[in-house]
A and B are shown apart, each in its own frame.
Chain A
Amino acid sequence: MAALTLDGRAVLHGVVQLPFRGVWCADIAIDGTDPVAAGAHSLRFADLPEMPCTLVSAPPAFGPSQAVRVIGGKGGWRTTLPPRSYRSPLGVRFANIIADLARECGETVDMTTAPSGTIGEHFIRSLGRASDAMNRVAPQWWVRRDGVTSASTRAVATAPTPGVHVLDYRGTQWVTCATDVPGILNPGDLFEHPTLSGRVASVAHTIGELGQFSLVWLP
């Protein structure tokens, strides 16, 4: 079974980037030259749950594979939204702004993670990407593997992820490692090793001819 698949088609090589905040994306080459349709797809590491995603780029096939770029969620955070203003004498609630953003761009937000309280009596949302507006009201937002957006920061892991094997160091903050379960490392995970430890800021899960490994950034 392939370590990574897109809609069941094996990924020959590529990278799945999981940033600490924002939208995750994958630049991958999948087996076969059949074109990948626009819209929703599902990326999956072999032993992990499905990761709903959306196709954003698929150049013409070259050779025996099809290169594609997919991003987590429904691709709504890239869309440009019209300007909008809010005002409430009691204060404009963060939740209202975020709910409007999600509805207008078509994304799903876990509203239990929305900041409580108000941002002020006014809020001006100018013409621009939905992600820019989200950066203003929930700077630590991120898209989970299940495609749902969280408006609060990632949880801090309290124990190191088991089955992680360090392969190489790049400088003092980049670590190349293999994991017993491919693709299991996430930003926010606790990384512990005799020579280097810390909280994972971002991960690039790489699938290649030499197998699967993860490039971990420890700030």
Chain B
Amino acid sequence: MTEVDATSAALNAIIDARVAPLRYRGVFEYIVVSQSGNAVSAKPSRGLEWLPPIDRARLVFSPLGGAVDLPTGSFVLVSFINGDETRPVVIGLTAGTPDEITLSQRSRAAVEHATSAEALVHFLKNWFEAFAHLLHNAPGPGSPGSAPITTANDLATLIDTFQTADLMALDAIVRDSTSSISAPLYAGIVAALASKSADADGKSPNLGSPDIRIG
């Protein structure tokens, strides 16, 4: 080894030692080997041989209270919280799609395919619009001409659709002419459901509101 080589090697060793704590401040691509619940075991993808496989790192991009099933071999993003090598987490997908996303509501679970995740968001958005509308129209105590029983029933039924993720029941509400949901909202939701139902193969994202096919 020449003097230049030795000096270079020594400098490299010093730099390596100094940057070692920074190695984990990044996002790294891993390949899923297995999954158990929200714990994912994965191996580093090509070019990351300096990293070891991770064993049962926590999956943090699934919905709160829910779970995402990743197919073996899919590419995921692994990061380390605060650059700490003791805290690896799986934060996303780089290629492939989840086999299934499960949303849990107490003991009941609604299962939707990943491609319908956007639809669920639209569902929730419209559900809350209807909920807000009901609250807005709810008469105050003692106000003349109030119909509190009807509103309460509507509210209870609406809540039940949320708890069961029962789109048919939601549809029934908006089609009920006696409901206190306003006619424009009723018409809008019906039209949205109809247009989405017409999207037979489900390839038109963001079509309809809520973006879920009924039936």
A49 to chain B, nearest CB (A): 29
A83/B20 contact (C-beta < 8 A), A123-B86, A124-B85 known: no
A122-B88, A124-B88, A126-B23 known; A84-B17 Cβ under 8 A:
no
Question: B80 near A87 (CB under 8 angstroms)?
Answer: no
The stretch from A101-109, A131-139, A208-216 touching chain B is A131-139
Contact partners of A126 in chain B: CB under 8 A = 23-24, 50-52, 85
Q: Are B55 and A120 in contact (CB under 8 A)?
A: no
A136 and B24 contacting across the interface, CB-CB below 8 Å: no
A92 — which chain B residues lie within 8 A by C-beta? 86
Q: How far is the CA of A132 from the CA of B12 in the complex (A)?
A: 13
Q: Which residue of A lies closest to B89 (CB)?
A: A122
CB under 8 Å from chain B, chain A span 31-57: 57
A135 and B49 contact, Cβ closer than 8 Å, known pairs A119-B86, A122-B86: no
Query: For residue A121, which residue of chain B has the nearest CB?
Result: B86
Judging by beta carbons under 8 Å apart, are A83 and B50 in contact?
yes
CB-defined contacts of A129 to chain B, threshold 8 Å:
13, 16-17
**Chain A: interface secondary structure?**
strand
Q: Are B52 and A122 in contact (CB under 8 A)?
A: no
Instruction: Say how far A10's CB is from chain B's closest CB, in angstroms.
Output: 26
Interface size on B, residues (CB 8 A): 24
Report if B56 contacts A (CB, 8 A). yes
- Give the residue among A84, A86, A122, A129 with the most B Cβ atoms within 10 A: A122
Q: What does the 1/0 interface line of B84-104 toward A look like (CB < 8 Å)?
A: 111110000000000000000
A116 sits at the interface (CB 8 A): no
The B-contacting residues of A in range 8-40, CB under 8 angstroms, are none
**Max chain B CB contacts within 10 Å: which of A84, A92, A120?**
A120
A83-B52, A85-B54, A122-B57 given as contacts; is B88 within 8 A of A135 (CB)?
no
Q: Given A123-B85, A124-B88, A126-B85, 5 more contacts at CB 8 Å?
A: A57-B1, A122-B85, A122-B87, A122-B88, A129-B17
Question: B residues engaging A (CB < 8 A)?
Answer: 1, 6, 13, 16-17, 20-21, 23-24, 49-57, 80, 84-88
* 27 examples of A-B residue contacts, CB within 8 angstroms: A82-B52, A83-B49, A83-B50, A84-B52, A85-B53, A85-B54, A87-B54, A87-B55, A87-B56, A120-B84, A122-B57, A122-B85, A122-B86, A122-B87, A122-B88, A123-B85, A124-B24, A124-B51, A124-B85, A124-B88, A126-B51, A128-B16, A128-B20, A132-B16, A132-B17, A135-B17, A136-B21
